[in-house]
A and B are shown apart, each in its own frame.
Chain A
Amino acid sequence: MAQANAKKLTPIQREYQALAKAYEPSRPLLQNFIRAFVVGGAISVLGQGLEDMFIHYFGFTQKTAGNPTVAILILLAALATGLGVFDKLASFAGAGTAVPVTGFANSIVSTALEHKSEGYVLGVGGNMFKLAGSVLVFGVVAAFFIGIIRSLPGLGG
């Protein structure tokens, strides 16, 4: 993105950007990677624990246990977001909380809360999928084309 804009800038603007870049704190890559890995892994282990619980105590199978597990994780993420805990964990973990399904729930609850003052219909209902919508749209469009390709006769369908 930065390169695309660079052509439109005057020399002075370019000079300023170079200067600003020199003072920009570099992202602590290794630290971010380790945090994302550990927190993301821990959430997955929690999910595995829930899955095993549903299999052993509630009669779910390996295949069906995923649904209640995801629902519980979404509930936990919604609560944590409402209580303001999620943001603190997310600023520590980065992708570690954003990539698991918890991030999907967080984006829904946080935009819903943010727009609560505009009312339940226009604010909460209308904005809930403001961030999560992109996941749905690209997921469904990709799944549609992949589904069509795989279902056509002679293409492995």
Chain B
Amino acid sequence: MIYVWAFLVGGFICLIGQFLMDVMKLTPAHTVSTLVVAGAILGGLGWYDKITEFAGAGATVPITSFGNALVNGALMEAKTQGLVGVLTGIFEVTSAGISAAIVFGFLAAVVFKPKG
């Protein structure tokens, strides 16, 4: 059942992205930035984790989860460290994604040749 919800929720978030690009005429960079901020706001309200509970990867794979994870990291550290925790904790949860993107991105640039 979680696969059905993953498909529906993941697809729906991409549908919103397509709507922002086609109807609101945003560039892809504006679209993705908007979605990240939206994910951060939903994370701050505590709603994003509720979506993740039933949609699984449908909520964690789209870029909105990046905004949510930034907020989660900041709030987790803030609980134990106080306000400074907001700064030290922001990348706590998203470290894997960012590090993987930098490492694999660099290796891909070394291995592959630019196309066209």
> Residues of A with Cβ closer than 8 Å to B?
1, 27, 29, 32-33, 35-51, 66-71, 73-75, 78-79, 81-84, 87, 94-96, 98-101, 103-105, 108-109, 112-114, 116-117, 120, 124-125, 128, 131-132, 134-136, 138-140, 142-144, 146-151, 157
Contacts and interface: CB of A to CB of B under 8 A. Distances in A.
B108 A101 contact: no
B33 A45 contact: no
Contacts of A47: 6, 10, 57, 60-61
B17 A95 contact: yes
Interface in B14-33: 14-23, 25, 28-29, 31-33
Contacts of B82: 151
Nearest to B52: A66
Given A47-B57, A48-B2, A70-B96, A157 B78 contact: yes
7 contacts: A41-B7, A41-B58, A96-B11, A100-B61, A112-B105, A117-B114, A148-B83
Contacts of B90: 140, 143-144, 147
Main secondary structure of the interface of A (DSSP, over half): helix
Contacts of A46: 57
B31 A98 contact: yes
Contacts of B39: 139
Interface of B: 2-3, 6-23, 25, 28-29, 31-33, 35-37, 39-41, 43-44, 56-58, 60-67, 70-71, 73-75, 78-79, 82-83, 85-87, 89-90, 96-98, 100-102, 104-115
Contact of A36 (B14, B73, B89): B14
A71 B105 contact: no
Contacts of B14: 36-37, 39-41, 95-96, 99-100
A44 B62 contact: yes
A42 B40 contact: no
A143 B39 CA distance: 10
Nearest to A81: B108
Given A143-B67, A147-B86, A94 B115 contact: no
A147 B108 contact: no
A95 B104 contact: no
Given A94-B18, A101-B66, A101-B97, A44 B6 contact: yes
